[in-house]
Amino acid sequence: DAKTTQPPSMDCAEGRAANLPCNHSTISGNEYVYWYRQIHSQGPQYIIHGLKNNETNEMASLIITEDRKSSTLILPHATLRDTAVYYCIVRVPPSSNTGKLIFGQGTTLQVKP
């Protein structure tokens, strides 16, 4: 699986958009970009994933650059409950051979009032 690089920490004001960057310059053609977050003392929670097109769901938007070497997770209106560690992961979907998610150190997002 390709490695990812994320800033260790970020702050965001409550109600503003949080933009979390991720570099994955060695991503291969069949690898997807997944985002998870882990709120303190809980298991990781899936947020969104994509291959090459931008994606949006009820939680967030995912913007992937045309060369797929980087992406940005956007939380449009951050709340205090969005304070968590956010993980960017690139992987192939589960198959008969593989499927593990490799978690890096992630970005600790602190949403402030």
Partner 1 sequence: GAGVSQSPSNKVTEKGKDVELRCDPISGHTALYWYRQRLGQGLEFLIYFQGNSAPDKSGLPSDRFSAERTGESVSTLTIQRTQQEDSAVYLCASSLRPDRGIFLNTEAFFGQGTRLTVV
Residues that bind partner 1 (CB under 8 A): 32, 34, 36, 42-46, 49, 51, 93-106
CA dist 45 → 38, 58, 62, 89 (Å): 6, 14, 16, 13
Least distance (Å) between residue 43 CB and partner 1: 3
Contact between residue 62 and residue 83 where contact means Cβ atoms under 8 Å apart: no
> CA–CA separation, 57 vs 66, rounded Å?
20
Least distance (Å) between residue 31 CB and partner 1: 11
Select 76 or 93, whichever has its Cβ closest to partner 1: 93
Select 14 or 101, whichever has its Cβ closest to partner 1: 101
Alpha-helical regions (H) of the chain: none
Least distance (Å) between residue 109 CB and partner 1: 15
Select 5 or 15, whichever has its Cβ closest to partner 1: 5
Least distance (Å) between residue 38 CB and partner 1: 8
Contact between residue 78 and residue 111 where contact means Cβ atoms under 8 Å apart: yes
Select 34 or 82, whichever has its Cβ closest to partner 1: 34
Element counts in the chain: helices (H) and strands (E) = 0, 9
